[in-house]
């Protein structure tokens, strides 16, 4: 049963007690006195005491009436002594039911009622402690005056304080800026004082032992049913730990990528080297001029393959090399598609270009690198398209970014393959190195863009590039 379920019933019970206790005591005394007077009157009348005794009986009645009144007043006082602490307990429980964890009870009454007040205080403290300590995030609660009334375990670990050290401190005494010139924390405290929404993404503070830590802070307000703010919740997160975790993840990803690249390079180099070694041994023998010429041609092809591999690796490692300038994507698309049409040969594959009208699609990038990416995507699309299919290169802008989509019909890439398309040396082409799409992603990412792929068994496959527009293009 919740606190709200039993709190309202306490009010009529207190009112009944205030009425019934004095009335009961008065009735008991009055009834006893009436019985005594009646017995005395009958005794005097039976023994013939006469009229001289009547005033004494009347005086006894008045005394009994006075005692009855005193008993009623005493009963009222006893009722007040009991109901006042009960009302205090009820009021505190009602506040607790409304979410107000502030304050404690101070009952000056009998030891039993005082023990009741202490039990309620202990229960409220336990609820507050459980509420905060059960939170996994870093949380500190303030009362309406801006003083700490509780903290979570994560908050204590981040700030280096114990809970008893935090309780009673003000916001500025807990969150001390590492740089005295920093005004962000003072602005937060002022906003909290004026009950305004507040959040700050990154600020450096000092912990209890003087260690600097970067945190993000948000403040929310706990309101009573009458909309009065009765508390403030300060939530913050340790950005140092998040950055360290992010750095470790990046390092792990880089090591995994390095392992993949190393294995791929070893595989790609081993085959040409094996061919070169074998052909070199054959050249040392007595071979015919025709065989010698064929061996030399094969050796040169192997050397060229190794040279392309080295060039691709250089581009992969330094995707942003070269001059960065304004690049008109519409021109790059027209040139790339024109060259691709010559490379189609006798295949029945149609190439289309669709550029949305409007402002020029100008981005800050290296023209040669962007052309290399687009050429790779268009040629891949042509190779994946069956006869009588088509490849469409469309472009436009949205939300301040330029996009290029290369769509081809008749092909489908399963989800498990799509997840590995941009992994170095992963390829589904016989004789392919698996570096083309990996390099494309490196180049696009280097210019603050992104590249995605979507594939549908019926519609085909689409590669989409997004790049931020140059400022001049956005302004236009």
> Strand ranges (DSSP E) for 255-377?
325-328, 349-355, 362-365
| pLDDT value at 460 more than 90 | yes
Tokens 């260690």 identify what position?
211
pLDDT at 203: 82
CA 39 vs. chain centroid, Å, equals 85
Q: Calculate the alpha carbon distances from 395 to 327, 333, 364, 368, 401 in Å.
A: 14, 9, 16, 18, 11
The domain spans of the chain are: 3-120, 134-242, 244-317, 325-475
Q: Spell out the residues 6+ positions from residue 279 whose beta carbon is closer than 8 angstroms to its own.
A: 295, 298, 299
pLDDT in tens, 136-185: 578 888 877 778 887 888 888 888 888 788 888 888 888 888 877 777 78
Q: Spell out the residues 6+ positions from residue 359 whose beta carbon is closer than 8 angstroms to its own.
A: 397, 473, 476
Choose the CATH number for 325-475 among 3.40.50.300, 3.30.70.260, 3.90.550.10, 3.30.565.10.
3.30.565.10
Whether the CB-CB separation of 198 and 191 falls below 8 Å is answered with yes
Half-sphere exposure (Cβ direction) of 212: Cα atoms closer than 13 Å: 8
Q: Which of 452, 403, 150, 435 is nearest to 305 (CA)?
A: 435
Highest mean pLDDT among 20-24, 242-246, 458-462: 458-462
DSSP state of 110: -
> Strand ranges (DSSP E) for 159-297?
176-177, 198-206, 212-223, 229-238
Q: How many residues does the chain have?
A: 476
Fold annotation for 134-242: Beta-Lactamase (3.30.450)
Helix, strand, coil abundance in the chain, percent, nearest 5: 55, 20, 25
Residue 265 in tokens: 């390079």
| Residue 436 binned pLDDT confidence (cut-offs 50, 70, 90) | confident
pLDDT in tens, 179-238: 777 777 888 788 878 888 777 878 888 888 888 888 888 888 776 655 676 678 888 887
Burial of 209 (0-12, 13-18, 19+ CB in 10 A): exposed
pLDDT at 5: 40
**Could you tell me the pTM of the whole model?**
0.48
pLDDT at 226: 59
Classify each residue of 123-133 as buried b or exposed e, where b means 16 or more C-beta atoms within 10 Å of its C-beta: ebeeebeeebe
CA 234 vs. chain centroid, Å, equals 15
Q: Which residues pair with 468 in a beta bridge?
A: 401
d(C-alpha 355, C-alpha 333), whole Å:
9
pLDDT at 164: 80
User: Pick the residue with more confidence: 380 or 291?
Assistant: 380
Whether the CB-CB separation of 424 and 264 falls below 8 Å is answered with yes
Residue 40 in tokens: 């005395």
Q: Which of 406, 397, 405 is nearest to 469 (CA)?
A: 397
Q: CB neighbours (10 Å) of residue 453?
A: 17
End-to-end CA distance of the chain: 65
Residue 86 in tokens: 């009960």
pLDDT in tens, 304-344: 877 877 777 777 777 766 788 999 999 999 999 988 888 77
Q: Write out the H or E segment, with its range, that includes residue 389.
A: strand 389-398
Residue 196 in tokens: 């305004």
Q: Which is it for the CA torsion 56, 59, 64, 70, positive or negative?
A: negative
Q: What's the average model confidence in pLDDT over 69-82? A: 66
User: What backbone torsions phi and psi does residue 361 show, to the nearest 5 degrees?
Assistant: -90, 80
| Residue 32 binned pLDDT confidence (cut-offs 50, 70, 90) | low
DSSP state of 181: T
Q: Calculate the alpha carbon distances from 147 to 129, 142, 163, 193 in Å.
A: 16, 5, 13, 11
Q: Write down the CATH number for the domain with range 244-317.
A: 1.10.287.130
d(C-alpha 246, C-alpha 38), whole Å:
96
Strands across the sheet with 212-223, in order?
148-151, 138-143, 229-238, 212-223, 198-206, 176-177
User: Pick the residue with more confidence: 108 or 270?
Assistant: 270
Q: What's the average model confidence in pLDDT over 434-450? A: 88
Q: What's the average model confidence in pLDDT over 282-290? A: 78
């Amino acid at each position: 049963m919740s606190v709200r379920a039993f709190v309202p019933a306490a009010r009529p019970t207190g009112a009944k007690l205030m009425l019934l206790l004095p009335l009961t005591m008065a009735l008991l005394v009055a009834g006893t006195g009436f019985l005594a007077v009646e017995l005395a009157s009958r005794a005097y009348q039976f023994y013939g005491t006469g009229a001289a005794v009547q005033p004494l009986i009347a005086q006894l009645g008045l005394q009994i009436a006075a005692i009855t009144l005193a008993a009623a007043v005493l009963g009222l006082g006893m009722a007040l002594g009991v109901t006042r602490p009960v009302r205090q307990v009820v009021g505190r429980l009602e506040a607790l039911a409304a979410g107000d964890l502030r304050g404690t009870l101070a009952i000056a009454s009998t030891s039993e009622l005082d023990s009741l007040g202490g039990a309620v205080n202990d229960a409220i403290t336990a609820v507050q402690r459980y509420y905060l300590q059960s939170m996994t995030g870093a949380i500190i609660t303030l009362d309406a005056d801006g003083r700490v009334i509780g903290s979570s375990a994560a908050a204590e670990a981040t700030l280096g304080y114990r809970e008893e050290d935090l309780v009673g401190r003000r916001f500025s005494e807990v969150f001390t800026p590492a740089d005295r010139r920093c005004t962000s924390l003072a602005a937060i405290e002022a906003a909290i004082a004026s009950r305004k929404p507040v959040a700050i993404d990154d600020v450096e503070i000092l912990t209890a032992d003087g260690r600097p830590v970067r945190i993000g802070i948000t403040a929310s307000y706990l309101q009573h049913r009458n909309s009065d703010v009765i508390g403030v919740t300060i939530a913050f997160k340790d950005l140092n730990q998040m950055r360290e975790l992010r750095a470790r993840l990046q390092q792990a990803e880089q090591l995994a990528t390095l392992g993949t690249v190393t294995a791929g390079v070893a595989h790609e180099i081993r085959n040409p080297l094996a061919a070169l070694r074998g052909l070199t041994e054959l050249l040392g023998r007595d071979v015919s001029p025709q065989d010698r010429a064929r061996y030399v041609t094969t050796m040169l092809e192997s050397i060229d393959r190794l040279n392309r591999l080295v060039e691709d690796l250089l581009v992969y490692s330094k995707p942003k090399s070269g001059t960065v300038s304004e690049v008109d994507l519409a021109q790059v698309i027209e040139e790339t598609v024109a060259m691709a049409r010559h490379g189609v040969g006798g295949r029945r594959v149609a190439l289309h270009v669709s550029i949305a009208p409007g402002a020029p699609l100008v981005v800050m990038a290296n023209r040669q690198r962007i052309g290399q990416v687009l050429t790779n995507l268009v040629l891949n699309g042509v190779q994946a398209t069956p006869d009588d299919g088509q490849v469409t290169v469309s472009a436009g802008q949205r939300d301040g970014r330029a996009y290029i989509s290369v769509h081809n019909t008749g092909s489908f890439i399963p989800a498990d393959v799509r997840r590995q398309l941009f992994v170095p040396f992963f390829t589904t082409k016989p004789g392919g190195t698996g570096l083309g799409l990996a390099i494309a992603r490196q180049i696009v990412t280097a210019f603050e863009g992104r590249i995605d792929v979507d594939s549908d068994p019926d519609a085909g496959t689409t590669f989409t590039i997004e790049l931020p527009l140059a400022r001049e293009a956005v302004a236009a």
